[in-house]
Structure 1
Amino acid sequence: GGSGNGMEFTSFKSGSSFKVRVLGTEDLIRFYSYGIYKKVNSFVAQNPSKMNDKGFPVADYTPWDLAWKYYQDLKKAAADKGDSKAEEKYKEEAAKYRVKERYALGFIDLETGNPIIIDLSKKQAQAVYAVITKFEKKLGKVAFELSKTGSGTSTTVSLTPFIDMEEDLTDKERENFNKYDGKEFDMSLFDGLLFEADEKTQIENLVAAGFDISLIGKSLGAGSNNEKDDEEINDEDMPF
Protein backbone atom coordinates (compact mmCIF):
# COMPACT_ATOMS: atom_id res chain seq x y z
CA GLY A 1 0.00 0.00 0.00
CA GLY A 2 1.00 3.63 0.26
CA SER A 3 3.39 2.98 3.10
CA GLY A 4 7.01 4.04 3.10
CA ASN A 5 8.20 7.55 3.56
CA GLY A 6 5.05 9.48 2.72
CA MET A 7 6.53 10.81 -0.53
CA GLU A 8 3.87 11.72 -3.09
CA PHE A 9 3.95 12.76 -6.71
CA THR A 10 4.40 16.51 -7.03
CA SER A 11 1.46 18.15 -8.78
CA PHE A 12 2.50 18.92 -12.36
CA LYS A 13 -0.42 20.54 -14.15
CA SER A 14 -0.31 22.13 -17.57
CA GLY A 15 1.17 25.62 -17.33
CA SER A 16 3.47 24.73 -14.45
CA SER A 17 7.23 24.67 -14.49
CA PHE A 18 10.07 23.82 -12.12
CA LYS A 19 13.72 24.75 -12.08
CA VAL A 20 15.46 21.46 -11.38
CA ARG A 21 18.76 19.69 -10.98
CA VAL A 22 19.03 16.21 -12.50
CA LEU A 23 21.29 14.04 -10.37
CA GLY A 24 21.72 11.11 -12.75
CA THR A 25 20.37 9.14 -15.68
CA GLU A 26 18.69 6.43 -13.61
CA ASP A 27 16.50 8.37 -11.18
CA LEU A 28 13.30 6.81 -12.44
CA ILE A 29 11.00 3.83 -12.19
CA ARG A 30 8.54 2.36 -14.67
CA PHE A 31 5.11 1.28 -13.48
CA TYR A 32 1.82 0.07 -14.94
CA SER A 33 -1.09 2.13 -13.74
CA TYR A 34 -4.88 1.88 -13.81
CA GLY A 35 -7.42 4.55 -12.98
CA ILE A 36 -10.07 6.86 -14.42
CA TYR A 37 -9.58 10.60 -14.22
CA LYS A 38 -11.75 12.12 -11.46
CA LYS A 39 -13.46 8.75 -10.82
CA VAL A 40 -10.88 6.25 -9.62
CA ASN A 41 -7.49 7.32 -8.27
CA SER A 42 -4.61 5.65 -10.03
CA PHE A 43 -3.22 2.43 -8.63
CA VAL A 44 -0.94 -0.44 -9.56
CA ALA A 45 -1.99 -4.09 -9.29
CA GLN A 46 -0.63 -6.05 -6.36
CA ASN A 47 -0.36 -9.04 -8.72
CA PRO A 48 0.40 -7.54 -12.13
CA SER A 49 -0.55 -9.25 -15.37
CA LYS A 50 1.91 -10.47 -17.97
CA MET A 51 2.42 -7.93 -20.74
CA ASN A 52 3.62 -8.20 -24.31
CA ASP A 53 6.23 -5.85 -25.79
CA LYS A 54 3.57 -3.29 -26.63
CA GLY A 55 2.38 -3.09 -23.03
CA PHE A 56 -0.86 -5.03 -23.54
CA PRO A 57 -1.86 -7.65 -20.95
CA VAL A 58 -1.69 -11.20 -22.33
CA ALA A 59 -2.01 -13.46 -19.26
CA ASP A 60 -2.74 -13.44 -15.52
CA TYR A 61 -5.30 -10.70 -16.12
CA THR A 62 -6.24 -8.34 -13.31
CA PRO A 63 -9.95 -7.49 -12.87
CA TRP A 64 -9.31 -4.23 -14.74
CA ASP A 65 -7.62 -6.11 -17.59
CA LEU A 66 -10.72 -8.31 -17.80
CA ALA A 67 -12.95 -5.22 -18.07
CA TRP A 68 -10.64 -3.85 -20.78
CA LYS A 69 -10.68 -7.19 -22.60
CA TYR A 70 -14.47 -7.41 -22.34
CA TYR A 71 -14.82 -4.18 -24.34
CA GLN A 72 -11.90 -5.03 -26.64
CA ASP A 73 -13.70 -8.23 -27.67
CA LEU A 74 -16.94 -6.31 -28.29
CA LYS A 75 -14.96 -3.76 -30.30
CA LYS A 76 -13.47 -6.54 -32.47
CA ALA A 77 -16.90 -8.09 -33.01
CA ALA A 78 -18.34 -4.69 -34.01
CA ALA A 79 -15.43 -4.13 -36.40
CA ASP A 80 -16.01 -7.54 -37.99
CA LYS A 81 -19.64 -6.56 -38.56
CA GLY A 82 -18.59 -3.22 -40.02
CA ASP A 83 -20.45 -1.32 -37.27
CA SER A 84 -18.08 1.61 -36.90
CA LYS A 85 -20.30 3.49 -34.44
CA ALA A 86 -20.35 0.60 -31.96
CA GLU A 87 -16.66 -0.02 -32.58
CA GLU A 88 -15.83 3.56 -31.58
CA LYS A 89 -18.02 3.34 -28.49
CA TYR A 90 -16.42 0.11 -27.27
CA LYS A 91 -12.97 1.48 -28.01
CA GLU A 92 -13.69 4.41 -25.68
CA GLU A 93 -14.97 2.08 -22.97
CA ALA A 94 -11.97 -0.24 -23.30
CA ALA A 95 -9.58 2.71 -22.98
CA LYS A 96 -10.99 3.57 -19.53
CA TYR A 97 -9.84 0.27 -18.07
CA ARG A 98 -6.64 -0.18 -20.02
CA VAL A 99 -3.37 -0.42 -18.13
CA LYS A 100 -1.00 2.45 -18.91
CA GLU A 101 2.77 2.36 -18.87
CA ARG A 102 3.98 5.36 -16.86
CA TYR A 103 7.22 6.63 -15.38
CA ALA A 104 8.13 8.31 -12.11
CA LEU A 105 11.14 10.62 -12.47
CA GLY A 106 13.10 12.16 -9.62
CA PHE A 107 14.52 15.70 -9.65
CA ILE A 108 15.77 18.30 -7.18
CA ASP A 109 13.45 21.30 -7.03
CA LEU A 110 15.85 24.25 -6.91
CA GLU A 111 13.30 26.57 -5.35
CA THR A 112 13.05 24.46 -2.20
CA GLY A 113 16.20 22.33 -2.45
CA ASN A 114 14.07 19.22 -1.92
CA PRO A 115 13.64 16.13 -4.08
CA ILE A 116 10.43 15.89 -6.12
CA ILE A 117 8.98 12.98 -8.09
CA ILE A 118 6.98 13.63 -11.24
CA ASP A 119 4.53 11.22 -12.89
CA LEU A 120 4.86 11.10 -16.70
CA SER A 121 3.35 9.14 -19.55
CA LYS A 122 5.68 6.96 -21.58
CA LYS A 123 5.84 9.52 -24.40
CA GLN A 124 6.54 12.42 -22.02
CA ALA A 125 9.19 10.42 -20.16
CA GLN A 126 10.94 9.53 -23.41
CA ALA A 127 11.15 13.21 -24.40
CA VAL A 128 12.55 14.21 -21.00
CA TYR A 129 14.92 11.27 -20.87
CA ALA A 130 16.37 12.10 -24.28
CA VAL A 131 17.45 15.49 -22.91
CA ILE A 132 18.88 13.95 -19.73
CA THR A 133 21.04 11.50 -21.69
CA LYS A 134 22.12 14.21 -24.13
CA PHE A 135 23.44 16.29 -21.21
CA GLU A 136 24.66 13.33 -19.18
CA LYS A 137 28.24 14.64 -18.94
CA LYS A 138 27.06 18.11 -17.91
CA LEU A 139 24.42 17.25 -15.29
CA GLY A 140 26.69 18.56 -12.53
CA LYS A 141 26.94 21.96 -14.21
CA VAL A 142 23.56 22.58 -15.83
CA ALA A 143 20.14 23.27 -14.32
CA PHE A 144 16.97 22.67 -16.32
CA GLU A 145 13.47 23.97 -16.62
CA LEU A 146 10.88 21.20 -16.49
CA SER A 147 7.59 22.45 -17.89
CA LYS A 148 4.22 21.24 -19.12
CA THR A 149 2.05 22.97 -21.71
CA GLY A 150 -1.06 22.22 -23.75
CA SER A 151 -3.99 19.98 -22.88
CA GLY A 152 -5.46 16.59 -23.69
CA THR A 153 -3.52 14.63 -26.28
CA SER A 154 -1.49 17.71 -27.21
CA THR A 155 0.02 18.04 -23.72
CA THR A 156 3.78 18.47 -23.98
CA VAL A 157 6.40 18.08 -21.29
CA SER A 158 9.82 19.55 -21.92
CA LEU A 159 13.14 19.68 -20.12
CA THR A 160 15.23 22.65 -21.25
CA PRO A 161 18.76 23.50 -20.06
CA PHE A 162 19.41 26.97 -18.67
CA ILE A 163 22.11 28.62 -20.75
CA ASP A 164 23.32 31.02 -18.07
CA MET A 165 23.32 29.70 -14.51
CA GLU A 166 24.29 33.13 -13.15
CA GLU A 167 21.49 34.97 -14.86
CA ASP A 168 18.74 32.34 -14.95
CA LEU A 169 18.90 31.21 -11.32
CA THR A 170 18.55 33.19 -8.10
CA ASP A 171 21.29 33.00 -5.47
CA LYS A 172 19.11 30.65 -3.44
CA GLU A 173 18.49 28.37 -6.43
CA ARG A 174 22.21 28.24 -7.20
CA GLU A 175 22.91 27.44 -3.57
CA ASN A 176 20.37 24.59 -3.69
CA PHE A 177 21.97 23.37 -6.91
CA ASN A 178 25.47 23.28 -5.39
CA LYS A 179 24.24 21.59 -2.23
CA TYR A 180 23.77 18.38 -4.26
CA ASP A 181 27.27 18.21 -5.73
CA GLY A 182 28.46 14.60 -5.73
CA LYS A 183 25.12 13.34 -4.38
CA GLU A 184 22.78 10.75 -5.82
CA PHE A 185 19.00 10.76 -5.86
CA ASP A 186 17.56 8.86 -2.89
CA MET A 187 15.92 5.92 -4.66
CA SER A 188 14.13 4.85 -1.47
CA LEU A 189 11.81 7.82 -2.07
CA PHE A 190 10.14 5.74 -4.80
CA ASP A 191 9.12 3.09 -2.23
CA GLY A 192 5.48 3.33 -1.23
CA LEU A 193 4.85 6.06 -3.80
CA LEU A 194 2.30 3.97 -5.69
CA PHE A 195 -0.92 2.63 -4.25
CA GLU A 196 -1.02 -1.15 -4.69
CA ALA A 197 -4.54 -2.51 -5.01
CA ASP A 198 -5.38 -6.14 -4.26
CA GLU A 199 -8.05 -7.99 -6.24
CA LYS A 200 -10.92 -6.98 -3.94
CA THR A 201 -9.97 -3.30 -4.06
CA GLN A 202 -9.71 -3.45 -7.85
CA ILE A 203 -13.19 -4.96 -8.09
CA GLU A 204 -14.55 -2.25 -5.76
CA ASN A 205 -12.87 0.31 -8.03
CA LEU A 206 -14.60 -1.21 -11.07
CA VAL A 207 -17.96 -0.87 -9.31
CA ALA A 208 -17.10 2.76 -8.45
CA ALA A 209 -16.29 3.31 -12.13
CA GLY A 210 -19.75 2.04 -13.09
CA PHE A 211 -18.64 -1.27 -14.59
CA ASP A 212 -20.98 -4.26 -14.17
CA ILE A 213 -18.60 -6.79 -12.60
CA SER A 214 -20.95 -9.71 -13.33
CA LEU A 215 -19.92 -9.29 -16.99
CA ILE A 216 -16.47 -10.64 -16.08
CA GLY A 217 -17.76 -13.22 -13.61
CA LYS A 218 -16.76 -11.26 -10.51
CA SER A 219 -18.75 -10.36 -7.44
CA LEU A 220 -18.11 -8.63 -4.16
CA GLY A 221 -18.59 -10.93 -1.20
CA ALA A 222 -21.58 -10.63 1.11
CA GLY A 223 -21.65 -7.64 3.36
CA SER A 224 -20.04 -5.26 0.91
CA ASN A 225 -21.95 -2.12 0.15
CA ASN A 226 -22.20 -2.77 -3.54
CA GLU A 227 -24.92 -0.23 -4.18
CA LYS A 228 -27.01 -0.37 -7.30
CA ASP A 229 -27.07 2.63 -9.56
CA ASP A 230 -29.97 4.96 -8.96
CA GLU A 231 -31.07 4.85 -12.54
CA GLU A 232 -32.86 1.76 -13.77
CA ILE A 233 -31.39 0.47 -16.99
CA ASN A 234 -33.90 -0.04 -19.72
CA ASP A 235 -33.38 -3.12 -21.89
CA GLU A 236 -33.71 -0.98 -24.98
CA ASP A 237 -30.71 1.08 -23.88
CA MET A 238 -28.47 -1.94 -23.86
CA PRO A 239 -26.05 -2.18 -26.78
CA PHE A 240 -26.44 -5.95 -27.10
Structure 2
Amino acid sequence: MPRQSRLKSDIAIYHVMQRGINKQTIFYDDEDCFTYLQFLQECKEKSGFELYAYCLMGNHTHLLIKEVKEPLSLIFKRFGTKYAYWYNQKYQRCGHLFQDRFRSEPIKDDRQFIAVLRYIYQNPIKAGICERPEDYKWSSYRYLDNNYQLIDKNGITEIISIDELKSLTRVNTEEQFLDLKSIRMSDREADLWIKDRFTNGISSENLKLESGFQEACYKMLYELYEKGCSIRQLARLTGISREKIGRILKSNLKSKPAKRTVPLVAPVRSD
Protein backbone atom coordinates (compact mmCIF):
# COMPACT_ATOMS: atom_id res chain seq x y z
CA MET A 1 0.00 0.00 0.00
CA PRO A 2 1.57 3.36 -1.02
CA ARG A 3 2.42 5.93 1.62
CA GLN A 4 -0.11 8.69 2.12
CA SER A 5 1.17 12.12 1.07
CA ARG A 6 2.17 14.32 3.99
CA LEU A 7 0.12 17.45 4.59
CA LYS A 8 2.00 20.64 3.75
CA SER A 9 2.39 23.72 5.93
CA ASP A 10 2.08 27.10 4.21
CA ILE A 11 4.75 28.44 6.58
CA ALA A 12 6.96 25.31 6.27
CA ILE A 13 6.83 24.58 10.02
CA TYR A 14 5.98 21.12 11.36
CA HIS A 15 5.47 19.26 14.60
CA VAL A 16 7.46 16.09 13.99
CA MET A 17 7.46 12.90 16.03
CA GLN A 18 9.82 9.95 15.71
CA ARG A 19 8.70 6.79 17.49
CA GLY A 20 10.59 3.57 18.01
CA ILE A 21 9.24 0.68 15.94
CA ASN A 22 6.81 -1.39 18.03
CA LYS A 23 7.38 1.26 20.72
CA GLN A 24 11.02 0.22 20.93
CA THR A 25 13.05 2.25 23.44
CA ILE A 26 15.33 4.56 21.46
CA PHE A 27 17.07 6.22 24.43
CA TYR A 28 18.41 3.98 27.18
CA ASP A 29 20.94 6.39 28.66
CA ASP A 30 22.39 9.90 28.47
CA GLU A 31 24.86 8.87 25.78
CA ASP A 32 21.97 7.94 23.48
CA CYS A 33 20.28 11.31 24.00
CA PHE A 34 23.51 13.25 23.60
CA THR A 35 24.38 11.39 20.39
CA TYR A 36 20.89 11.97 18.94
CA LEU A 37 21.24 15.72 19.54
CA GLN A 38 24.77 15.74 18.17
CA PHE A 39 23.60 14.08 14.95
CA LEU A 40 20.65 16.48 14.81
CA GLN A 41 23.04 19.44 15.02
CA GLU A 42 25.22 18.00 12.25
CA CYS A 43 22.16 17.46 10.07
CA LYS A 44 20.96 21.00 10.81
CA GLU A 45 24.25 22.45 9.59
CA LYS A 46 23.95 20.51 6.34
CA SER A 47 20.21 20.78 5.71
CA GLY A 48 19.76 24.35 6.96
CA PHE A 49 16.49 23.73 8.82
CA GLU A 50 15.42 25.77 11.84
CA LEU A 51 14.64 23.98 15.10
CA TYR A 52 12.40 25.67 17.68
CA ALA A 53 11.92 22.90 20.23
CA TYR A 54 12.71 19.29 21.04
CA CYS A 55 11.88 16.78 23.73
CA LEU A 56 13.46 13.32 23.88
CA MET A 57 11.35 10.69 25.65
CA GLY A 58 12.12 7.02 26.16
CA ASN A 59 10.60 5.63 22.97
CA HIS A 60 9.83 8.76 20.96
CA THR A 61 10.85 12.34 20.25
CA HIS A 62 9.02 15.58 19.54
CA LEU A 63 10.50 18.31 17.34
CA LEU A 64 9.19 21.65 16.11
CA ILE A 65 11.05 22.27 12.89
CA LYS A 66 11.00 24.54 9.84
CA GLU A 67 12.06 23.42 6.38
CA VAL A 68 14.50 25.81 4.73
CA LYS A 69 16.73 24.21 2.08
CA GLU A 70 15.61 20.59 2.17
CA PRO A 71 12.26 18.79 2.69
CA LEU A 72 11.52 16.85 5.87
CA SER A 73 11.70 13.55 4.01
CA LEU A 74 15.35 14.09 3.09
CA ILE A 75 16.25 15.54 6.49
CA PHE A 76 14.90 12.57 8.42
CA LYS A 77 16.13 10.00 5.96
CA ARG A 78 19.67 11.27 6.45
CA PHE A 79 19.39 11.91 10.17
CA GLY A 80 17.31 8.86 11.12
CA THR A 81 19.55 6.48 9.19
CA LYS A 82 22.66 7.81 10.93
CA TYR A 83 21.24 7.50 14.44
CA ALA A 84 19.74 4.07 13.74
CA TYR A 85 23.10 2.79 12.47
CA TRP A 86 24.90 4.12 15.55
CA TYR A 87 22.22 2.71 17.86
CA ASN A 88 22.29 -0.74 16.22
CA GLN A 89 26.06 -0.87 16.50
CA LYS A 90 25.96 0.05 20.18
CA TYR A 91 23.22 -2.41 21.15
CA GLN A 92 24.19 -5.13 18.67
CA ARG A 93 20.84 -5.22 16.93
CA CYS A 94 19.73 -4.99 13.31
CA GLY A 95 16.72 -3.75 11.41
CA HIS A 96 14.64 -0.60 11.51
CA LEU A 97 14.66 1.55 14.64
CA PHE A 98 11.96 4.10 13.83
CA GLN A 99 8.34 3.52 12.90
CA ASP A 100 7.70 5.07 9.44
CA ARG A 101 10.80 7.28 9.82
CA PHE A 102 8.67 10.13 11.24
CA ARG A 103 5.18 11.56 11.52
CA SER A 104 4.42 15.22 10.96
CA GLU A 105 1.68 17.74 11.64
CA PRO A 106 1.72 21.02 9.65
CA ILE A 107 1.65 24.24 11.65
CA LYS A 108 -0.91 26.68 10.27
CA ASP A 109 -0.52 29.84 12.35
CA ASP A 110 1.00 31.49 15.43
CA ARG A 111 -1.68 30.08 17.73
CA GLN A 112 -0.89 26.50 16.75
CA PHE A 113 2.85 27.21 16.90
CA ILE A 114 2.54 28.28 20.55
CA ALA A 115 0.20 25.39 21.35
CA VAL A 116 2.71 22.86 20.02
CA LEU A 117 5.62 24.48 21.88
CA ARG A 118 3.63 24.18 25.09
CA TYR A 119 2.65 20.59 24.30
CA ILE A 120 6.26 19.58 23.66
CA TYR A 121 7.53 21.19 26.85
CA GLN A 122 4.79 19.56 28.93
CA ASN A 123 5.41 16.02 27.62
CA PRO A 124 7.65 14.92 30.53
CA ILE A 125 5.18 16.37 33.06
CA LYS A 126 2.22 14.52 31.56
CA ALA A 127 4.30 11.33 31.50
CA GLY A 128 4.90 11.71 35.25
CA ILE A 129 8.67 12.07 34.86
CA CYS A 130 8.94 15.50 36.49
CA GLU A 131 6.79 18.26 37.96
CA ARG A 132 8.32 21.24 36.16
CA PRO A 133 9.48 21.49 32.53
CA GLU A 134 12.85 22.93 33.57
CA ASP A 135 13.57 19.77 35.57
CA TYR A 136 13.66 17.54 32.50
CA LYS A 137 17.18 17.17 31.16
CA TRP A 138 16.42 16.33 27.54
CA SER A 139 14.03 19.14 26.62
CA SER A 140 14.96 22.41 24.94
CA TYR A 141 12.85 24.24 27.55
CA ARG A 142 15.99 24.32 29.71
CA TYR A 143 17.66 26.60 27.16
CA LEU A 144 14.97 29.25 26.73
CA ASP A 145 17.00 31.73 28.79
CA ASN A 146 20.31 30.89 27.12
CA ASN A 147 21.80 30.83 23.66
CA TYR A 148 21.98 27.26 22.39
CA GLN A 149 23.25 26.67 18.87
CA LEU A 150 20.74 23.92 18.13
CA ILE A 151 17.67 26.05 18.91
CA ASP A 152 16.60 29.01 16.75
CA LYS A 153 15.20 31.13 19.55
CA ASN A 154 14.66 34.19 17.34
CA GLY A 155 11.93 32.28 15.54
CA ILE A 156 10.13 31.87 18.85
CA THR A 157 10.50 35.45 20.10
CA GLU A 158 9.12 36.82 16.83
CA ILE A 159 5.82 35.25 17.88
CA ILE A 160 5.82 35.23 21.69
CA SER A 161 8.15 36.49 24.41
CA ILE A 162 10.09 33.94 26.45
CA ASP A 163 8.42 35.10 29.68
CA GLU A 164 4.97 34.65 28.14
CA LEU A 165 5.85 31.22 26.81
CA LYS A 166 7.19 30.08 30.17
CA SER A 167 4.05 31.34 31.92
CA LEU A 168 1.89 29.38 29.49
CA THR A 169 3.92 26.22 29.94
CA ARG A 170 3.77 26.28 33.73
CA VAL A 171 -0.02 25.92 33.69
CA ASN A 172 -0.61 22.21 33.23
CA THR A 173 -4.20 21.70 34.36
CA GLU A 174 -6.05 19.99 31.49
CA GLU A 175 -9.33 21.86 32.04
CA GLN A 176 -7.84 25.36 31.97
CA PHE A 177 -7.65 26.59 28.40
CA LEU A 178 -8.06 30.10 27.12
CA ASP A 179 -7.99 31.23 23.54
CA LEU A 180 -5.10 33.12 21.93
CA LYS A 181 -7.58 34.61 19.47
CA SER A 182 -8.66 36.98 22.24
CA ILE A 183 -5.31 38.80 21.99
CA ARG A 184 -4.24 38.12 18.41
CA MET A 185 -5.15 40.85 15.92
CA SER A 186 -5.74 39.83 12.33
CA ASP A 187 -3.70 41.48 9.56
CA ARG A 188 -6.81 43.38 8.47
CA GLU A 189 -7.47 44.71 11.98
CA ALA A 190 -3.86 45.78 12.42
CA ASP A 191 -3.75 47.41 8.96
CA LEU A 192 -6.90 49.41 9.72
CA TRP A 193 -5.40 50.43 13.06
CA ILE A 194 -2.30 51.76 11.29
CA LYS A 195 -4.19 53.58 8.52
CA ASP A 196 -6.52 55.18 11.05
CA ARG A 197 -3.50 56.92 12.58
CA PHE A 198 -1.15 57.24 9.60
CA THR A 199 -2.84 57.90 6.27
CA ASN A 200 0.28 56.91 4.35
CA GLY A 201 1.01 53.94 6.59
CA ILE A 202 4.31 53.12 8.26
CA SER A 203 7.42 52.17 6.32
CA SER A 204 11.19 52.23 6.58
CA GLU A 205 11.20 55.44 4.50
CA ASN A 206 8.75 57.14 6.85
CA LEU A 207 10.99 56.40 9.80
CA LYS A 208 13.75 58.52 8.22
CA LEU A 209 11.58 61.64 8.53
CA GLU A 210 11.41 64.08 11.43
CA SER A 211 11.84 62.66 14.93
CA GLY A 212 8.26 63.48 15.95
CA PHE A 213 6.85 61.23 13.24
CA GLN A 214 9.41 58.58 14.08
CA GLU A 215 8.41 58.60 17.75
CA ALA A 216 4.75 58.28 16.79
CA CYS A 217 5.58 55.29 14.56
CA TYR A 218 7.54 53.62 17.34
CA LYS A 219 4.66 54.17 19.74
CA MET A 220 2.25 52.67 17.21
CA LEU A 221 4.38 49.54 16.77
CA TYR A 222 4.54 49.10 20.52
CA GLU A 223 0.76 49.52 20.88
CA LEU A 224 0.13 46.90 18.19
CA TYR A 225 2.57 44.54 19.89
CA GLU A 226 0.73 45.07 23.18
CA LYS A 227 -2.53 44.20 21.41
CA GLY A 228 -1.12 40.87 20.30
CA CYS A 229 0.60 41.46 16.96
CA SER A 230 3.73 39.35 16.54
CA ILE A 231 7.01 40.81 15.29
CA ARG A 232 6.66 38.77 12.12
CA GLN A 233 3.18 40.18 11.55
CA LEU A 234 4.34 43.77 12.11
CA ALA A 235 7.20 43.28 9.65
CA ARG A 236 4.81 41.91 7.05
CA LEU A 237 2.41 44.84 7.42
CA THR A 238 4.96 47.66 7.50
CA GLY A 239 7.88 46.42 5.43
CA ILE A 240 10.23 47.22 8.31
CA SER A 241 12.70 44.44 9.03
CA ARG A 242 12.01 42.08 11.92
CA GLU A 243 15.39 42.97 13.41
CA LYS A 244 14.58 46.70 13.47
CA ILE A 245 11.12 46.11 14.94
CA GLY A 246 12.70 43.92 17.61
CA ARG A 247 15.07 46.76 18.55
CA ILE A 248 12.22 49.28 18.62
CA LEU A 249 10.12 47.08 20.88
CA LYS A 250 13.06 46.30 23.13
CA SER A 251 13.68 50.01 23.60
CA ASN A 252 10.01 50.66 24.42
CA LEU A 253 9.78 47.68 26.76
CA LYS A 254 12.67 49.06 28.80
CA SER A 255 10.79 52.30 29.38
CA LYS A 256 7.39 50.58 29.72
CA PRO A 257 7.77 47.26 31.55
CA ALA A 258 4.11 46.31 31.18
CA LYS A 259 3.53 42.78 29.93
CA ARG A 260 0.89 41.39 27.64
CA THR A 261 -1.54 39.04 29.27
CA VAL A 262 -1.30 35.80 27.34
CA PRO A 263 -4.03 33.21 27.76
CA LEU A 264 -3.66 29.49 27.49
CA VAL A 265 -4.22 27.79 24.20
CA ALA A 266 -6.45 24.90 23.35
CA PRO A 267 -4.65 21.53 23.11
CA VAL A 268 -3.56 20.27 19.73
CA ARG A 269 -3.91 16.77 18.40
CA SER A 270 -1.01 14.71 19.69
CA ASP A 271 0.70 11.82 17.94
* Greater relative CO, 1 or 2 (CA 8 Å, sep 6+): 1
TM-score (ref. length: structure 1) = 0.23
More helix by share: 2
TM-score, scaled relative to structure 2:
0.21
